[in-house]
Amino acid sequence: MINETLNLIYNEIKSINLKKIALLNEALNEICAKDIIAIKDLPCFDNSALDGYAFNHKNAGKTLKIKGIIYAGEKREFCLKDDECYKIMTGAIMPKGADTVLRTEDANVKNDVLFLPNEIKKFDGYRLKGEEVTKGKILIEKGEVLTPRKIMLLASQGINEVEIYKKPKIALFSSGDELKEPWQKADEYEIYNANASGIEALLKNNGFKSKYLGIIKDEPSLIKESFENCFKEFDFVITSGGASAGDKDYMDEILKDFGFKEIFDHVNIKPGRPTKCFIKDEKIVFVLAGNPTAAYLLAFLLVIPTLKKLINQNDDFFEISKAKFSGNLKLKSGRINAILGIYDDFCFKVIDDNKFGSGTISPLAKATHLYLSNLDKKELKDGEIIEILKLD
């Protein structure tokens, strides 16, 4: 069902094909816009994988004269005669005629003579040119996320600039007369705005920057003015509150007055049913529920995958694991039930027996994973193998 909802969005949106050049140290979590090809072999020359003694394996069991020391960074060529070896440092160029390295701690050396053991594996400690990466090979594919490890790989090739996709400019705001910001003082009848902070952090955790525009009061003229200003600068708008059918939920009407098309007006899931999505040209608006757990989960399930689709990210959007369900739980069929739980030692255990509403926050904070039921699912049984999604 979630995939069907995502497909409704995907069918309406166009991937962003705007690209830019970024310095490598500014490219973390960006999306690669074209295949990146290796420009040199890695290693770029035959070298030693360890500190030790380089020799020809045919001399195993013999005594060899230590001709000298080869240090990492030396560029001249070294050659061996039959009765010789070289002391060699990690990363140093292998001498001609050598094919094996005996590590220093295993070596028996006396008076500049190496006494080789009979049993030693040929090619030990020998790193061949190009054995890790061959020049011309694809290092990073178009659509891949530039993780710290991939940035390290590119740096090893002397690549300092990469072509990446420009990400959409994202605006985030909340609506509701009852809301106060975390830095303000709230009385007992007012509610702190938890949604904006949580969703902003979720976006950042997935590599997306957003600008928080504050709380909009439940007044049509103020909501309209906020959207009008927002659309001048931003491509992607996320709001929480104003998604349900309450008397003061004006989002639908105002967005339709701006010419936005409604992609869907609800999602058959609990929590999170009053979630809507609108599109006009290349601008997208998500109207999430005001309840914190509902808002966060639908941002995780729908907003993040939509953003990743927009920038052509080809990695899996969710990290899925198999788990054994712990306990017994009755479910209401005919909808997706979003079940929060903790995954440990291959077991998934629900939090507080799943007895909490979409307005609660502490179960969400405790959870590590999420289970989504099928529409016809009526019960989860102890020991049943299920698929769960890692949160965040």
* Confidence band of 385 (pLDDT split at 50, 70, 90): very high
CA-CA-CA-CA torsion sign (283, 289, 290, 291): negative
CATH number of 2-13+167-310: 3.40.980.10
pLDDT at 171 over 70: yes
pTM of the model: 0.81
Mean pLDDT along residues 153-161: 95
Residue 82: burial class (beta carbons within 10 Å; 0-12, 13-18, 19+): exposed
Residue 244 confidence (pLDDT): 59
Residue 358 confidence (pLDDT): 65
pLDDT at 1 over 80: no
pLDDT at 160 over 60: yes
Q: How far is CA 60 from CA 24, 69, 121, 169, in A?
A: 46, 20, 9, 65
Residue 200 confidence (pLDDT): 96
Residue 353 confidence (pLDDT): 85
Q: How far is CA 199 from CA 6, 243, 245, 304, in A?
A: 19, 16, 23, 10
CATH number of 320-390: 2.40.340.10
3-state secondary structure the chain: CHHHHHHHHHCCCCCCCCEEEEEHHHCCCCEECCCEECCCCECCCCEECCCEEEECHHHCCCEEEEEEEECCCCCCCCECCCCEEEEECCCCECCECCCEEEEHHHCEEECCEEECCCCCCCCCCEECCCCCECCCCEEECCCCECCHHHHHHHHCCCCCEEEEECCCCEEEEEECCCEECCCCCCCCCCEECCHHHHHHHHHHHCCCCEEEEEEECCCHHHHHHHHHHHHHHCCEEEEECCCCCCCCCCHHHHHHHCCCEEEECCCCEECCCCCEEEEECCEEEEEECCCHHHHHHHHHHHHHHHHHHHCCCCCCCCCEEEEEEECCEECCCCCEEEEEEEEECCEEEECHHHCCCCCCCHHHHHCCEEEECCCCCCEECCCCEEEEEECC
Domain covering 19-41+134-165: architecture: Alpha-Beta Complex (3.90)
The answer for 20, left when phi > 0, alpha when psi is -120 to 50, beta otherwise, is beta
Mean pLDDT (the chain, rounded): 91
The percent of residues in the chain predicted with pLDDT above 70, rounded, is 97
| Model pLDDT for residues 105-143, shown as the tens digit of each residue | 999 999 999 999 999 999 999 999 999 999 999 999 999
User: When comparing pLDDT for 242 and 41, which is higher?
Assistant: 41
Residue 247 confidence (pLDDT): 43
Distance CA(220)–CA(248), nearest Å, equals: 9
| Model pLDDT for residues 304-331, shown as the tens digit of each residue | 999 999 999 887 789 999 999 999 999 9
Residue 186 confidence (pLDDT): 75
Mean pLDDT along residues 267-285: 93
C-alpha of 295 from chain center: 21
Residue 184 confidence (pLDDT): 84
Residue 13 confidence (pLDDT): 85
* Confidence band of 341 (pLDDT split at 50, 70, 90): very high
| Model pLDDT for residues 227-270, shown as the tens digit of each residue | 999 999 999 999 998 655 554 567 888 999 999 999 999 999 99
Could you count the other beta carbons within 10 Å of the beta carbon of residue 324? 14
* Confidence band of 14 (pLDDT split at 50, 70, 90): confident
Domain ranges of the chain: 2-13+167-310, 19-41+134-165, 47-127, 320-390
Range name among 21-25, 239-243, 381-385 with the lowest pLDDT average: 239-243
Residue 314 confidence (pLDDT): 81
How many CA atoms are closer than 13 Å to the CA of 377, on its beta-carbon side?
21
CATH number of 47-127: 2.170.190.11
Q: What angle do CA 311, 233, 170 make, to 5 degrees?
A: 40
